[in-house]
Structure 1
């Protein structure tokens, strides 16, 4: 057809005027054919460049690891079995089925690449891979975190960039697979020989266990990851049904209120979670000196005020984030390590530790949640009479990145609005301290308690602090600033206790999880410190059998329990009687 078009518009025909009708304009395809014929070398080079690029994209996607720590050159110099099988299939199929398989494979490879990238992010920040069933809603939390830390403009740009990247990966991988499948059948004989040779080399490397820098040359990486993702989905579906049964069984589910925590009657109970307060804060050589000094100083100051403490370790159900999983695990006595379990428990009548105090009728219950900036239906599960969120504590100062207010202010507001008021019953409080939330920039500083006012005093401190962009990608500085933030939070809490605590005050405080891997390190434990502080010696005598360490700093070899075991141990230690419910 291109020859016909060329003839109808030839210069000779125009010169002789053989046809009085105007010559038709060449089609786009005809013009492209002319340009191709005019520059054969450039076109040939372009084709080879596209072929090489398509091959590199496909091989790179097939060998892409799902952890940042594994991103080394040696990971990309292996022989993927999936590429050999794909080539064999392309050579065996007729044109139309081959095209369908290429498109489906391209989309599938794009999806696997997206999942690998998500795994990288989740492993780096949360110490676990992405769950394709449960974790999509956490992406909204991630955007909110970026907005609070880096600004709304950066958050919007990151969201748009992520959507563009997803669409681009799906399109590019599909086009690459189609191109490569078409390229293979241009010379079936040579392609068949190459595929057989590659298969022979792969089998030989696999049989002999040949490696390069400790990495096997024969790879079936993508198939293994796809299998893992499928198993993860299947486990998640099964876990939902199994956990619903577990949540209905409760050792104290039918215990009358009169038989719950009788040995704490008359005490003002305070349960406090310190954001990201993990074992690394106390034992990592790059972090521990400053935090340990704070703990030692605070222990001595509390002792001077008449308070004493015992401390141990709990293994958190979460890591790096999703603090609500740590809170709910501690207070429910159930292992809540994913969002599905969390929703199940929040919709149940399983006895929380806070609800146990409410059930006695002997305590008023309150929550102080400066990190809550929207409706919080979980209040019903925890059975809190009143919850003070970020907008109900009277704060008029600046935000400190994600944290809406400094811990010192939140505690003073709690004292002013709740704890310091006269009441007919003692108080059971749940307090969430947020100043040690990543990215640890800027960090508040302690000010005179009498000068706190409405928090405006922190404007200068916030303005003079580090910018998140200066800290967030620097592991060394992140460690340093993380340690400072933990010292600040612990100092705020212990100074509050010295200042406002009474003979009947009992403080239980702990971390919700370890900080992200960039700070705590790859394969760090999930342990967090926990301390119980009181003036009344009988309170600590009740837990003498726990063998916890005296003071606020747990010894390295202090007992380590699963976080989910704390509720039952605590209730038992303080005189509660078991009356199980079995669903």
Structure 2
């Protein structure tokens, strides 16, 4: 890398040499130093986002995610550790700005004092760069004529422009909905009388089913659960969906699945949730025949999106009655959240069937410490999980070890799947229809850079007619989708599901 000739350095040197006075040179040197520091900081953010979300940092949309990252670190490392890390990061950023700015100012002074030599050297460097660029000269597989910073800056500008253009285009797309004008009585008529549950399992991605280090335990759990559900009279069919997000930002996957729109950025999420696009969950509310509820153990602050999703009642982390410890980011074990759902909604006397959206969080990174299954009768208010949490692994040890992260991730998926399928065997009825899926693949440290975005999805029911309605989907029997099972974009599911269960397209909304 030391034989590469950066064009940015040549241009900066030429500008500094062209300025005859000290103050203009100083101003340009300071600006160049700060620009270099900013570029370095953005490169570091890119590295972090690639590691966790499999993509670059978005200059327009991703600043809010830094606060989420701080909250995640606080949960994973404790308040003191997170605070020290934040202070260290800020100190490092300040030191970077100071060091690069001082270095650039010092360099401008050297150029001014040795002007003749500097001019000749800059011209020579420019000639070398031009010839190397024209001839395509390389060293160790890399071009000698480097223009990385310029190319990266151009790329960032193009992404900002694309982001700004996308806002208006997506707003128009969100207004067009073939089911917007469908009367309530013509939505999902073939599910009347059924309790329909849409359950998201955090980070339940294709890697959980196919990675050699992770999949053996997960496959055993899926196969055992398939057999156990069959004994209880349930059958299942499974396929793959391609998520709109990777490694995190679960709400993008949730909104994509339920809205039928490709929601892959915070901007798109804000646009769709501030409108009245028909979500899959709201379709049940619109019929007037279902009570709708949300079980949201990960929600710890106001959540106005409940209206967008058509949920009559939402139980957040503080309303589920849990009195046990947090398991790192996860506020409560999945087994407890499902039992709370049974106590608060599913098991209560009702005059209407129930539609529920349930988010299971125990498989959220850093997968340490993990809960374990206990007797359902002993769950109580969750206090019994205190000793389990204290005996668990240290998140810092798991985060630092890629192999161990994979192992603990696999265990977390097994726990979530076991919790859900045991709940279904225990409390499911002839009228229960369960749809469960992953929201995205786990982070790059577990998935790898070439993992793709596919997640498993399953439909489970006792009534054979429910599964017969989706027979033409070509999905695999059981809870484990075959490698060659159909793969759809996650945004395709809403319309396919509504159509399969008898919904009639009603055309775009008036004026849409």
Q: TM-score, normalised by structure 2?
A: 0.97
Deviation, 1:255, is 0.4
What's 1:118 paired with? 45
What's 2:81 paired with? 154
Secondary structure class of the residue paired with 1:174: helix
What's 1:324 paired with? 251
- The Cα offsets for residues 11-57 of structure 1, whole Å up to 9 and x where unpaired, read as xxxxxxxxxxxxxxxxxxxxxxxxxxxxxxxxxxxxxxxxxxxxxxx
- The Cα offsets for residues 78-137 of structure 1, whole Å up to 9 and x where unpaired, read as 221111111122222212332222121111111111111111111111111111111111
| Alignment of 1:526 onto 2:490 | no
Structure 2 residue corresponding to 1:499, chosen from 426, 435, 451: 426
Where do residues 28-47 of structure 1 align in structure 2 (5 Å cutoff)?
Answer: none
What's 1:394 paired with? 321
Structure 2 portions without partners, runs of 5+: none
Deviation, 1:530, is 0.4
Structure 2 residue corresponding to 1:410, chosen from 317, 337, 344: 337
Deviation, 1:154, is 1.5
Q: Distance in 1 between matches of 2:375 and 2:330?
A: 20
| Alignment of 1:569 onto 2:500 | no
Deviation, 1:416, is 1.2
Higher mean alpha-carbon deviation, 333-342 vs 201-210, is at 201-210
Structure 1 residue corresponding to 2:388, chosen from 439, 451, 461: 461
Change (3 A) 1:333 1:77: farther
| Alignment of 1:471 onto 2:398 | yes
What's 1:89 paired with? 15
Q: Distance in 2 between matches of 1:482 and 1:125?
A: 14
Q: Distance in 2 between matches of 1:321 and 1:581?
A: 32
Deviation, 1:153, is 1.0
Q: Distance in 2 between matches of 1:173 and 1:384?
A: 52
| Alignment of 1:243 onto 2:174 | no
What's 1:442 paired with? 369
Change (3 A) 1:77 1:529: farther
Structure 2 residue corresponding to 1:427, chosen from 309, 330, 354: 354
Secondary structure class of the residue paired with 1:351: coil
Deviation, 1:269, is 0.3
Where do residues 174-185 of structure 1 align in structure 2 (5 Å cutoff)?
Answer: 174-185=101-112
What's 1:345 paired with? 272
Higher mean alpha-carbon deviation, 163-172 vs 480-489, is at 163-172
Structure 1 residue corresponding to 2:292, chosen from 340, 353, 365: 365
- The Cα offsets for residues 227-251 of structure 1, whole Å up to 9 and x where unpaired, read as 1111111111111111111111111
| Alignment of 1:79 onto 2:5 | yes
What's 1:58 paired with? none
Q: Distance in 2 between matches of 1:466 and 1:258?
A: 51
Q: Distance in 2 between matches of 1:429 and 1:323?
A: 18
Structure 2 residue corresponding to 1:290, chosen from 217, 232, 237: 217
Q: Distance in 2 between matches of 1:207 and 1:462?
A: 62
Q: Distance in 1 between matches of 2:334 and 2:142?
A: 47
| Alignment of 1:168 onto 2:95 | yes
Deviation, 1:77, is 5.0
Secondary structure class of the residue paired with 2:114: helix
| Alignment of 1:103 onto 2:26 | no
Q: Distance in 2 between matches of 1:113 and 1:392?
A: 44
- Deviant stretches of 4+, over 6 Å: none
Secondary structure class of the residue paired with 1:581: coil
Higher mean alpha-carbon deviation, 351-360 vs 189-198, is at 189-198
| Alignment of 1:483 onto 2:483 | no
Change (3 A) 1:300 1:77: farther
| Alignment of 1:355 onto 2:282 | yes
Q: Distance in 1 between matches of 2:175 and 2:226?
A: 40
Q: TM-score, normalised by structure 1?
A: 0.86
Secondary structure class of the residue paired with 1:250: coil
Deviation, 1:198, is 2.0
Q: Distance in 1 between matches of 2:137 and 2:393?
A: 49
Aligned residues: 509
Q: CA RMSD in A?
A: 1.2
Secondary structure class of the residue paired with 2:406: helix
What's 1:229 paired with? 156
Secondary structure class of the residue paired with 1:428: strand
Structure 1 portions without partners, runs of 5+: 1-73
Q: Distance in 2 between matches of 1:512 and 1:403?
A: 15
Deviation, 1:196, is 2.4
Q: Distance in 2 between matches of 1:474 and 1:213?
A: 31
